[in-house]
Chain A
């Protein structure tokens, strides 16, 4: 029973990270679109969306690349395979962010690309890149 529960927790972690990464991309796209079209004072809906984006980015980055948890840690789910997957996920997130920032920099030379418009996408690229990589490695592990 406990063995099945451990497997369930591992699978749930993988699914939560995958869904969070997809959700982050969707919210970041909405934030980018909102920043591009909205003119005038900041609205409550924009603040809420951007706060959600930042919170989800932080949670996803922590879940995919560290063993941080408010609850008691399950040592079997924090073994050396999980640590190797997290290290690989952190590298993937780093490179996604680096390449994304480079592309944004080059694009910014040719088109108007204000920071409030591109920052949500860069956040999403970095955190989602790490999340997708971790989920893919966990899935491959069987």
Chain B
């Protein structure tokens, strides 16, 4: 569920890959969205599951679809 702060099984994250391809650091991405660098770090590590709003903002900022950042794992 959004706001969870422990790793959730079956939740896949490709945020780091997309962010690095976009040439952004965690801090730069955080500044563009208006969150802390820790938030980006925990989302990338699968520790924190972002809300729908944050997921949409991440996707919009990185110019991709939400499904390109997050997916369900089998």
Listed in ascending order, the chain A residues whose CB lies under 8 Å from chain B are 3, 6-7, 10, 75-77, 79-85, 87-88, 137-138, 140-142
Q: For the complex, what is the distance from the CA of A140 to the CA of B51, rounded to whole Å?
A: 20
Interface: B30 (CB within 8 A): yes
Interface of A is mostly: helix
Instruction: From the candidates B2, B5, B36, B47, name the one contacting A77 in the complex (CB within 8 A).
Output: B36
Question: Would B36 and A81 count as touching, CB distance under 8 A?
Answer: yes
Question: Would A81 and B51 count as touching, CB distance under 8 A?
Answer: no
Question: Would B3 and A84 count as touching, CB distance under 8 A?
Answer: yes
Q: For the complex, what is the distance from the CA of A84 to the CA of B5, rounded to whole Å?
A: 7
A80: B residues at CB distance < 8 A: 2-3, 35, 39, 50-51, 54
Instruction: From the candidates A3, A75, A88, A138, name the one contacting B38 in the complex (CB within 8 A).
Output: A138
Known: A76-B36, A141-B38, A142-B41. A83 touches B3 (CB 8 A): yes
Residue of B nearest to A139 (CB): B38
Interface of B is mostly: loop
B48: A residues at CB distance < 8 A: 81, 84, 141
Instruction: From the candidates B27, B34, B51, name the one contacting A75 in the complex (CB within 8 A).
Output: B34
* A77, A81, A88: most-surrounded residue (chain B CB, <10 A): A81
Question: Would B47 and A82 count as touching, CB distance under 8 A?
Answer: no
B38-56 residues at the A interface, CB under 8 angstroms: 38-39, 41-42, 45, 47-48, 50-51, 54
Interface: B68 (CB within 8 A): no
A76: B residues at CB distance < 8 A: 30-31, 34-36
Q: For the complex, what is the distance from the CA of A130 to the CA of B11, rounded to whole Å?
A: 28
Interface: B8 (CB within 8 A): no
Interface: B67 (CB within 8 A): no
Name the distance in Å between A81's Cβ and chain B's nearest Cβ: 4
Question: Would B54 and A141 count as touching, CB distance under 8 A?
Answer: no
